[in-house]
Amino acid sequence: MSKNSWAAQKGEAITNNGNSLQCENESETPKEDKKKVELGKKVTLLRGISIIVGIIIGAGIFISPKGILKNSGSVGMSLVVWIACGVLSLFGALSYAELGTCIKKSGGHYTYMLEAFGPQMAFVRLWIELIAIRPAAMAVISLAFGQYILEPLFMPCDIPPLAVKLATAIGLTSVLYLNSMSVTWTARIQIFLTCSKLLALAVIIVPGMYQLFKGETKNFENAFDVSAIKLSEIPLAFYSGMYAYSGWFYLNFVTEEVENVERTVPLAIFISMAIVTTCYVLTNVAYYTVMSAEELLNSQAVAVTFAEKMLGKFSIAVPVFVALSCYGSMNGGVFALSRMFYVASREGHLPQVLSMVHIRRHTPLAAVLTLYPLTMLQLFVGDIYSLLNFMSFLRWLFIGLVVLGLIYLRFTKPDLPRPFKVPLFFPVVFCITSFLMVFLSLYADPVNTGIGCGICLTSIPAYFMFIYFENRPKWLQQILDSLNRTLQIILMVVPPEK
């Protein structure tokens, strides 16, 4: 793939330089670290479940599930939407499980777009993910961490915005440091954080169920009152619900590091979605046993309001649980997304240094650090929430296209080995749902979605400048080659051994 390489003319020089770097450091490397320089298969079933559950359960279920209630029109319909969104997400997740077992490459969305629709479409997905979606999404969840980790220290006063941003920067930096140092410890801490999230939900679910069994059912009377239901707003409720469940696809970003892919990926996805759907529904039932629909809609932080009513002074622990939940989403997100950049670099769509591994830590150090500059920039100067608004529809557009790619591959490559195969009904229903949400976004907010499309179109000149043309300007080639060599030496990374 010579024309698809950022360093096509001097790639061999860079690789040779990397081999020299490896040899120079070999004498300094402890004996236990003198093993093959590569990303090992360290993601077990338990770690896979912790990645999926740990990323899906973020701040949303603790803070504001009222969007679904507001747009569904009744308590009963809101619970139906939560269940339906869990089922739809399971359809999408199982479709990704099939893709992950028949295309055993890391990279998630990017890899499947590449296999189904070619390098151009894959680069478009990679480009908008790199320059807009991921930095903004990471900054938002990091800001939530900074806000809630400081909440117990400043109660009942407001937290200074600068303090929030500093705490956020420290949290984000620690996540990147952890992912740079050790895959094993990253996975272990993710398991701990996932258990913390489930414990936090248990703190809500157990008292709520106790109240329900005691007969506190007044808030469920007339639960399916249709007078307040507006069919035009039901799709918006599904949009909020699908957002709350998003994250089920992240295990596919690390497929090459999963033990026994054919068994682990489908099983981890199914178990994770069952856990998340059950926890989400029971948590909302618990909310309604303590709060009326009106109280829930008026609350800015539903979990905090619930804790104040049920747990008294112990409610101060809720912000800490929310912060840990956000930290788990940050940690899992960085772990998974770095593998997409790693694979894209290997395919020639990003600088070569991003597909290299640290000589002692055996982590994709350069790929882990990729999002750091843009995320920090948006953290301090960007209008993050506006960016997320007009980029969210692109997320569902491309996820829908990936699942459509599964259907396409069923007909174009029928002989492709498929150790795990879902009924065609699953991807078809999920595709229809995804595209309906996309068209709803275009109809409801044409200005912001238009801006998102504009950002998407910037991928076209980028593709031709960096990927398609072999004879790029000499000055640009020299800059890219120099940057690759310099980063390789500074970061002490080398190409993984075959």
Average pLDDT, stretch 124-131? 88
Say if 225 falls within a structural domain: yes
Q: What is the structure's pLDDT at 13?
A: 39
372, pLDDT greater than 70: yes
Question: Residue 126: which of 442, 378, 462, 434 has the closest Cα?
Answer: 462
**What contacts 388, CB < 8 A, 6 or more positions away?**
136, 137, 140
Average pLDDT, stretch 183-193? 88
> What is the extent of the structural domain holding 264?
45-492
Q: What is the structure's pLDDT at 451?
A: 78
Residue predicted with more confidence, 222 or 389: 222
Query: What whole-number percentage of the chain has pLDDT above 70?
Result: 87
Rounded-to-integer distance, Cα 475 and Cα 314, Å: 62
Average pLDDT of the chain to the nearest whole number: 82
CB atoms within 10 A of CB 123: 26
The two tokens of residue 320 are 């800490």
Average pLDDT, stretch 71-77? 85
pLDDT digits (tens, 9 = 90+) for 439-488: 877 776 677 777 778 888 888 888 887 777 666 677 777 887 888 888 88
End-to-end CA separation in angstroms for the chain: 18
Say if 437 falls within a structural domain: yes
**What contacts 277, CB < 8 A, 6 or more positions away?**
82, 83, 86, 87, 89, 90, 245
Q: How confident is the model at residue 136 (pLDDT cuts 50, 70, 90)?
A: confident
Q: How confident is the model at residue 52 (pLDDT cuts 50, 70, 90)?
A: very high
DSSP bridge partners of 258: 43
CATH number assigned to the domain comprising residue 386: 1.20.1740.10
Q: How many CA atoms lie within 13 A of 306 on its CB side?
A: 34
Say if 29 falls within a structural domain: no
Say if 10 falls within a structural domain: no
pLDDT digits (tens, 9 = 90+) for 340-354: 999 998 888 888 888
Say if 8 falls within a structural domain: no
Average pLDDT, stretch 240-250? 86
Average pLDDT, stretch 404-433? 92
- What amino acid is encoded at 410 in this protein? R
CB atoms within 10 A of CB 188: 13
Say if 369 falls within a structural domain: yes
Say if 17 falls within a structural domain: no
Q: What is the structure's pLDDT at 301?
A: 75
432, pLDDT greater than 80: yes
Say if 15 falls within a structural domain: no
Please say whether the beta carbons of 397 and 453 come within 8 A: no
**Which has the minimum average pLDDT: 38-47, 139-148, 153-162, 386-395?**
386-395
Rounded-to-integer distance, Cα 453 and Cα 467, Å: 21
Q: State how many domains the chain has.
A: 1
Q: What is the structure's pLDDT at 383?
A: 58
